[in-house]
Amino acid sequence: MKKSFLSFVAVIMMLGARADEGMWIPMLIGKNYDEMLRLGLKLTADDIYSINHSSLKDAILQFGGGCTAEMISDNGLLLTNHHCGYDAIANLSTVERDLLDNGFWAHNLQEELPAQGVTALFLQSMEDVTDKVKAAVGDATGEDYNKKYDAIRKEIEEKAANKGQFVANVRDYFNGNQFFLLIYKRYTDVRLVGTPPKSLGKFGGDTDNWMWPRHTSDFSMFRIYAGENNEPKAYAATNVPYHPKKFLPVSARGVHEGDYAMVMGYPGRTNRYEVSYGVDLAVNVVNPSIVTCRDLRLAIMRRHMDMNKATYLQLTSSYSRIANYWKYYIGQTEQLKRLNVVSEKAKAEDQFTKWEHDNNMSADLMNKFASMYKDYTPYAKHAVYYGECFRATAIARMGGALKPLYDAYERHNGELTDDTLKKFINMAKNAYRGNLKEFDLGTEKELFTEMTALYYKNVPKDQLPDIYAKAVFKKRDADSKEAYADYTEYVFAHTFLTDSNKFNAFCDNPSFSKLKSDAAMQYDMSFITNYVTNYQSKGEAFNYKKAELSKQYVHELMMQQKDRMFYPDANSTMRVTYGKVLSYDPQDGVHDNYFTTLDGLMAKYKPGSDEFDVPQDLINLYKAKDYGRYADADGTLHTDFITNNDITGGNSGSPCINANGELIGAAFDGNWEAMSGDIAFDKKYKRTIVCDIRFILFLIDKMGHADNLIKEMDIRY
């Protein structure tokens, strides 16, 4: 079966490419390479991906689990986005030494700061394991398929990991039609080297996020350290800088319209083969629900962060993550509507159904999709509110971590062995510590009040948990705003979850009676039990069926459209995308240039603004036009530029590489007009926003005075 599928994919991959669309597997570049050459690439295919010698793949790494970074020196120095290093920078900051607001530059190795919890993952190799997986799962479907797939995946991964020497992941491609084993090395001693002040690293804030023109210096720098023989080792003072197999030289020559541009990285998730019914559900139910929950959540967090600097540092990483995709879902919905994606997909699906009938295919897939979405839609909003509204509070997540203990007590009539207790208590302690990092009492109480009210207002009344009738409205009616505030005060006065001393005391002497009588646990268990018992299975059944239909749909699409160039959806594995530096017209009568400048940044400058203020050092450099070797011949300093590369979340920090394999910038965002891109790619509008490497070098050199870093890189002027 593998041979027939792969030969079919190979044929498709040889039939031509569109330069801007597609997140391609580097190992399977195929005839993409001819198109890359036509666009100006000067490298060989082996220069991009090879297991026999060093290649670009060895300079690209997955950073922190959700971003991309690139090696830029032989001494372990890496470049990624500011927002990718944001958590680490915030965690290293204090009110007295605020690295986030003031920036930081290490002028020697001794000044570099350990970034606890940050990891660097390097791809070693890829192997097709489709035969093994398909032989193991057979014709299984639904939960049975998942069990068999998990078993064979675990077997393959454990063997490939070689007793912990490697990280091994089996991933599916083309909606479960193909499987690859990816083997990585993971480094955990990662240290902060440099970051511009947040005013520059997040310049424009939420206002400019997902927008062009942009002037953000979205970068930060870290260094990877290793133990003996350049191998991974936990942090130790004796560790030395890692020496990569490959690092990227840096081009300070600038970019021009039409230049070749290539982005390599780890894009997170796309859903380009989604059917019209799924897009309709996203546009009308899922996305608006997410935005409603996050609107309120962000407003509450912002209010408390503005009042207290310590609270700001505590919550700022969480706030940034929530805000980023709050605006994303607004933009995605707007663009899906503007591009009429539902109706366009429906037209294509009509043609697909006709092809099915004409070719005697018995699947009737579109009717099956329609029926599946019709059955699930009544519960879709509840699923969103459970994740985005109920679980917005730390108290909900803390209680959720105690549910396994609660359930174990319930199964065993309140009596557990010491070993069982220890296992569940340790699980709860680990989760509690994680949630405590983002727990601010004032913020938490307001979130609890408002999220409880929002859940009641928007979730269908016949799907609500019983805690509303039993406790929230026990003394006041459902229309009373005071009911929620009163209930919040009651819960917080009668729980051990909000006080670490009380929580630890419970862990030292746990009992079922203490769990059951705790007001926060009563609240949490009502929500969790209601959802798990009545609605989680509906979501699981929907997901099982969707996976099954989607797998068949992609397979048949490839049969129907034999002249089309197919690529797999993003799945957090390494991809390469290629195109050009390119301006665009976002709307009628409007033309946006392909680059922005420091002049434009200073035109946005607003003293004291949380989004558009800049450091005095930059103002001084701007007034003196002291740009060093990093400006154009006419004295203009570029800040950001755009390309027509195809990227998504997870590509943050990815290198933008020129035709010679040199680094020209760090990709960090997409544009508003193409925010439909994870579902429907739009060739006319799609742009990738890149921080110009010359702006990065200027800030390192002129503001950071870190000439040690400038000397360390291979910069080509």
Q: Which of 55, 58, 83, 317 is catalytic?
A: 83
Domain ranges of the chain: 1-119+188-266+572-717, 275-388+535-564, 393-534
| List of residues 6+ apart from 350 with CB closer than 8 A | none
Percent over 70 (pLDDT), the chain: 97
Instruction: Note if 357 is an active site residue.
Output: no
Cis peptide before 615 (omega within 30 of 0): no
| List of residues 6+ apart from 161 with CB closer than 8 A | 167, 168
Confidence of residue 13 (pLDDT cuts 50, 70, 90): very low
Instruction: Note if 626 is an active site residue.
Output: no
- Residue 451: which of 282, 300, 285 has the closest Cα? 300
Is the pLDDT at 3 greater than 90, yes or no? no
Q: Which residues of 62-95 are buried (b: 16+ CB within 10 A; e: fewer)?
A: bbbebbbbbbbbebbbbbbbbbbbbbbbbbbbee
Report the CATH fold assignment for 1-119+188-266+572-717: Thrombin, subunit H (2.40.10)
What pLDDT does 10 receive?
38
Residue with tokens 């490939």: 160
What pLDDT does 12 receive?
34
Average pLDDT over residues 683-710: 97
CA gap 222, 697 in Å, rounded: 15
Average pLDDT over residues 503-519: 96
What pLDDT does 481 receive?
84
Q: Which of 98, 218, 569, 669 is catalytic?
A: 218
Instruction: Note if 652 is an active site residue.
Output: yes
Average pLDDT over residues 611-623: 98
What pLDDT does 361 receive?
87
Q: Which of 652, 654, 669, 676 is catalytic?
A: 652
For the entire predicted model, the pTM comes to 0.94
Average pLDDT over residues 148-176: 97
In eight-state DSSP terms, residue 40 is: T
Can you read off the two tokens belonging to residue 715?
A: 């910069």
Instruction: State the average pLDDT for the chain.
Output: 95
Q: Give the range with max mean pLDDT: 21-35, 120-134, 359-373, 555-569.
A: 120-134
